[in-house]
């Protein structure tokens, strides 16, 4: 099973190499943003893309028979070129952009710095100019606080500073490391999950675990420091175990950031001293073997999982306890407002903070994925979308065999860029925005990610356990139905901007439940009612 991690990751290396400018005489030699250097359809390179040096470095040192990249000198040269281009394309303060010029994106700076330091160390480079660049970017990260609560970014910054401190044998960033690590601990809820914007996202949670586990491993000889990290990791790992689906998939649209992310490396490292962590990877590997993992092979996000899988292969724990069934019963995370119910042969994963979006498994197979009501409305000549899956406060009643969720639909965030919008954004960033990129970031987060504007539809959802299965009773009320163009329930709808969401996963092959014919028969003030038995 171990080699599944390596095979899955190595299959992405040809695409990553296609994304890189590998011409030594090109002014963009080493750049991984093909939209910039090849297609020339954007006017700046994404700094995040330089993270792709790490998958190449790890492919270079992954010794399995089917790896054609093992110890190929060309890969060393392309990794070095990628690190140099990260430096060449950075701002004078060491920061970099991701989605718009002068953005100075903390996440892009941290991911690419981690990849560059790790690649430099593993491949045994010696280049004072690279080291100077690493230090400059680390200084910027140590001083920079981005808007929004993204714990995975904070943990990654600590890891970057830790790795660079060891590489340079310096205590220069000790204070910054301690402060950021304390922030990670502060942002961990008592239920075990780490804050990601509006709540708990198990996918990004596994990335935070991966970073903390590596920090813990690097400091194995410092008991006082690692004891606090281990305490945090134990809570985090036990929380993550709840979200391992019976078919081997992980996460989904019922989580705060709608991702199927899964970063396994941390569980291998933690599994050395907490063997129960290994079961999480074993379940995921079973799903990986049967095609249940999500696809992340697009031009911008292909790197994260590739390097994490290869690290998992390298640090795979050989001796593993036997895999036991998940315990029966209910897990209700009241602060995350997520509920997991396992009884008989069924497992329900329910988002009480997202209008009752859910996944249901029976006999270890997905039988229902539901992202709540979606209504397309024509207003003032425009089509708008009212949905029930946005994070919000809902009226809840949770009993043993009956769960009620009541509330309002919200308007989906469907803002698109236009030529005029892009021109305005460029003008803003070339003038006042370049001096306050965090202000622009906060504005874009409010427009694209956080918050909910109520739509004129009230819903009521009841999930009832009866005769050995779950039944769902839905009601949707509107004063006037005449503006409704289409209505239905989808298996994978999301309505906020999250870079790692909206990836394909085989569970999304479930069909759209079209409710338009029923809605068209409703009179003003009437209620749409829907009864379903799921199994």
Q: Looking at residue 292, what is its pLDDT?
A: 93
- C-alpha 163/C-alpha 255 separation (Å) is 31
Q: Please, what are the domains in the chain? A: 2-314 (1.50.10.10), 337-413+449-533 (no CATH)
pLDDT band at residue 109 using 50, 70 and 90 as cut-offs: very high
User: Please, what is the average pLDDT of the chain?
Assistant: 95
| 512-526 residue pLDDT tens | 999 999 999 999 999
- C-alpha 135/C-alpha 108 separation (Å) is 16
- C-alpha 463/C-alpha 299 separation (Å) is 40
Class of residue 83 by CB neighbours under 10 A (exposed 0-12, middle 13-18, buried 19+):
buried
Q: For residue 185, which phi and psi values (nearest 5 degrees)? A: -60, -40
- C-alpha 23/C-alpha 36 separation (Å) is 15
Class of residue 34 by CB neighbours under 10 A (exposed 0-12, middle 13-18, buried 19+):
middle
Q: Looking at residue 258, what is its pLDDT?
A: 92
Does the pLDDT value for residue 179 go beyond 80?
Answer: yes
Q: Looking at residue 433, what is its pLDDT?
A: 78
List C-alpha distances in Å: 469 to 43, 171, 197, 283, 314: 55, 59, 34, 25, 43
What residues contact residue 222 under an 8 Å CB cut-off, 6+ apart? none
Six-digit token pair at 324? 């036991």
Class of residue 171 by CB neighbours under 10 A (exposed 0-12, middle 13-18, buried 19+):
exposed
Q: Looking at residue 34, what is its pLDDT?
A: 98
pLDDT band at residue 225 using 50, 70 and 90 as cut-offs: confident
**pTM for this prediction:** 0.95
| 370-416 residue pLDDT tens | 999 999 999 988 999 999 999 998 999 999 999 999 999 999 988 78
């Amino acid at each position: 099973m171990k080699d599944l991690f390596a095979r899955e990751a190595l299959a992405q290396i040809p695409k990553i190499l296609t994304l890189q400018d590998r011409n030594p005489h090109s002014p963009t030699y080493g750049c991984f943003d093909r939209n910039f250097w090849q297609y020339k359809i954007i006017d700046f390179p994404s700094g995040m893309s330089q993270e792709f040096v790490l998958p190449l470095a790890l492919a270079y040192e992954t010794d399995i028979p089917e790896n054609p990249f093992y110890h190929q000198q060309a890969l060393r040269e392309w990794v070095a070129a990628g690190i140099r281009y990260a430096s060449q394309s950075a701002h004078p303060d060491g920061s970099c952009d991701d989605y718009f010029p002068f953005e100075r994106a903390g996440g892009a700076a941290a991911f690419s710095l981690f990849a560059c330091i790790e690649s430099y160390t593993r491949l045994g480079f010696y280049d004072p100019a690279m080291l100077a660049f690493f230090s400059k970017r680390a200084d910027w990260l140590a001083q920079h606080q981005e808007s929004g609560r993204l714990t995975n970014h904070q943990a990654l910054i600590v890891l970057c500073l830790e790795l660079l401190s060891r590489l340079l044998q310096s205590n220069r960033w000790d204070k910054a490391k301690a402060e950021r690590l304390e922030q990670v601990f502060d942002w961990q809820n008592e239920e075990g999950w780490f804050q990601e914007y509006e709540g708990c996202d198990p996918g990004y949670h596994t990335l935070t675990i991966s970073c903390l586990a590596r920090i813990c491993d690097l400091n194995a000889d410092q008991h006082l420091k690692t004891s606090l990290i281990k305490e945090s990791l134990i809570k985090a790992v036990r929380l993550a175990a709840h979200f391992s689906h019976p078919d081997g998939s992980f996460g989904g649209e019922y989580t705060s950031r709608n991702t199927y992310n899964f970063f396994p490396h941390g569980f291998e490292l933690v599994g050395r001293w907490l063997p129960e962590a290994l079961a999480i990877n074993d379940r995921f590997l079973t799903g990986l073997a049967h095609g249940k993992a999500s696809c992340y092979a697009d031009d911008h996000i292909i790197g994260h999982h590739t390097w994490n899988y290869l690290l998992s292969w390298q640090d795979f724990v050989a001796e593993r306890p036997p895999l036991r069934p998940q315990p029966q019963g209910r897990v209700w995370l009241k602060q995350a407002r997520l509920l997991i119910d396992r009884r008989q042969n069924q497992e329900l994963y329910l988002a009480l903070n997202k209008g009752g979006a859910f996944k249901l498994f029976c006999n270890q197979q997905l039988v229902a994925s539901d992202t709540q009501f979606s209504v397309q409305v024509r207003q003032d000549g425009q089509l708008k979308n009212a949905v029930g899956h946005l994070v919000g406060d809902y009226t809840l009643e949770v009993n043993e065999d009956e769960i009620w969720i009541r509330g309002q639909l919200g308007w989906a965030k469907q803002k698109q860029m236009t030529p005029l919008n892009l021109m305005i954004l460029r003008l803003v960033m070339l003038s006042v925005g370049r001096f306050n990129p965090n202000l622009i970031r906060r504005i874009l987060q409010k427009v694209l990610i956080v918050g909910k504007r109520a739509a004129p539809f009230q819903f009521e959802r009841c999930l009832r356990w009866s005769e050995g299965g779950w039944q769902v009773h839905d009601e949707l009320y509107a004063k006037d139905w005449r503006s409704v163009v289409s209505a239905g329930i989808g298996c994978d709808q999301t309505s906020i901007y999250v870079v790692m969401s909206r990836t394909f996963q085989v569970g999304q092959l479930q069909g759209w439940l079209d409710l338009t014919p029923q809605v068209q028969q409703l009179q003003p003030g009437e209620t749409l009612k829907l009864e379903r038995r799921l199994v």
